[in-house]
Amino acid sequence: MELLRTKNLKVYFTQKKEVIKAVDGVDLFLKKGITTSLAGESGCGKTTLARAILGFYKPDEGEIYFENEDIIKKENITLVRENIQIVFQNPFLSLDPRYTVFSTLYEALSVFRDINKSRAESIIEKALGEVELDKDLMYRYPHQLSGGQLQRVCIARSLINKPPLVILDEPTSSLDVTTAGTIINLLAKLQEKRQITFFYISHNIKLIGKISHFCFIMYRGKIVEYGPKDLVYNNPLHPYTKLLKKAAHQELKSIPQEEMMQLEGCPFYSRCSSRMARCEKEPVSIELEPEHFVCCHLYS
């Protein structure tokens, strides 16, 4: 069952009189209770898409539905805030250095309910326990915590009001490998316990191959391949997905801005070793395996 869906979503920016199509006609869906991932290199439009879902950017065109409610409308902004939360990639920048852990979580808790601090303490203690943090950390400041502890606080903050959907925007990219692994395991436990829907954004397709159930691949603002994780990861069809998998052990360079401003044809045309004359026209999405779709002229 679907929790969220975007239809023909477009978010454009103008820079030096040039139009940058950060999100360009994206159709995407998130199924309840599973982790859906969005993979692509830096600059492909992943975070812009997430911010549009959260209402940070107003789409130029298209629709976003949360449980069949149009959340682009102004009157539905409360619906978004109550039901969709985000964990950003850098916990050091996500928390106010002037706030203790208690103050941070209390602020999040009190947004949607009238609750005094004494009653909130037990709720916050439980929230910390769920992310495997000791209650003794409650009155510490961010500079007194490690990166892993800070990210756990950010996860606790995103979950404290029990939202059904949490967006995870590269939540382990600023952490060392060991700490990142513990955070990934923690998220899996929380999902199993609460049946939360996660939308996981990353450039690392190898990581996505481990944690997600369903996967979308994004390039230059467009979805070029999507399907069940096992099919996308083990049998990548699009040349760009194959490139992501090949480069799993290193971060690809950001997409050149001049490519982002290319107007017509396959978005991967200029970098594709398999390009043909017909690739100058934009391909359509084709289902080659059950639920496994690719947008590429190689299969048309």
Could you read off the pLDDT of 256-295 as tens digits, one per residue?
555 544 557 898 988 888 889 888 888 999 999 999 999 9
**Are 203 and 39 in contact, with CB atoms under 8 Å apart?**
yes
Alpha helices in the chain (DSSP H): 46-54, 77-83, 91-94, 101-110, 117-130, 147-159, 177-194, 205-211, 229-234, 239-246, 257-260
Higher pLDDT, 256 or 183: 183
Could you give the percent of the chain with pLDDT greater than 70?
95
CA gyration radius for the chain?
20
Residue 33 neighbours by CB distance under 10 Å: 16
Element housing 84 (H / E): strand 84-87
Across 49-74, average pLDDT: 93
In tens, the pLDDT along 67-84 reads 989 999 877 888 898 999
CATH architecture of the domain formed by 2-299: 3-Layer(aba) Sandwich (3.40)
Q: Which amino acid is at 251?
A: E
Residues 37-47 have pLDDT tens digits of: 999 998 899 99
Contact 239, 299 (CB under 8 A): no
Looking only at the bridges linking them, the beta strands covering 2-15 and 35-39 are: unpaired
pLDDT of residue 295: 95
- pLDDT band at residue 173 under the 50/70/90 scheme: confident
254 pLDDT band, cuts 50/70/90, is low
Q: Is the pTM of this model over 0.85?
A: yes
Q: Which residue has the tokens 């395991």?
A: 185
Chain centroid to CA 187: 14
pLDDT tens readout for residues 119-145: 899 999 999 999 999 999 999 999 999
Residue range 167-189: mean pLDDT, rounded:
92
Confidence of residue 11 (pLDDT cuts 50, 70, 90): very high
CB 63 within 8 A of CB 72: yes
Q: Which residues contact 106 (CB under 8 A, 6 or more apart)?
A: 117, 120, 124
pLDDT band with cut points at 50, 70 and 90 for residue 106: very high
Enumerate the β-bridge partners of residue 30: 4
Relative to beta strand 197-202, strand 35-39 is parallel
Please provide residue 140's backbone torsions phi and psi, each rounded to the nearest 5 degrees: -90, 160
The pLDDT of 19-30, averaged and rounded, is: 94
Task: Answer yes or no: are the C-beta atoms of 269 and 279 closer than 8 Å.
Answer: yes
Residues 6+ apart with CB under 8 A from 193: 130
Minimal CA–CA distance to 64: which of 105, 10, 19, 108?
10
Mean pLDDT of the chain: 91
Strands 2-15 and 18-31: antiparallel
Tokens standing for residue 79:
């619906």
pLDDT, tens digit, for every residue of 78-102?
889 899 999 998 999 999 999 999 9
pLDDT at 209: 84
Question: Is 80 exceeded by the pLDDT of residue 250?
Answer: no
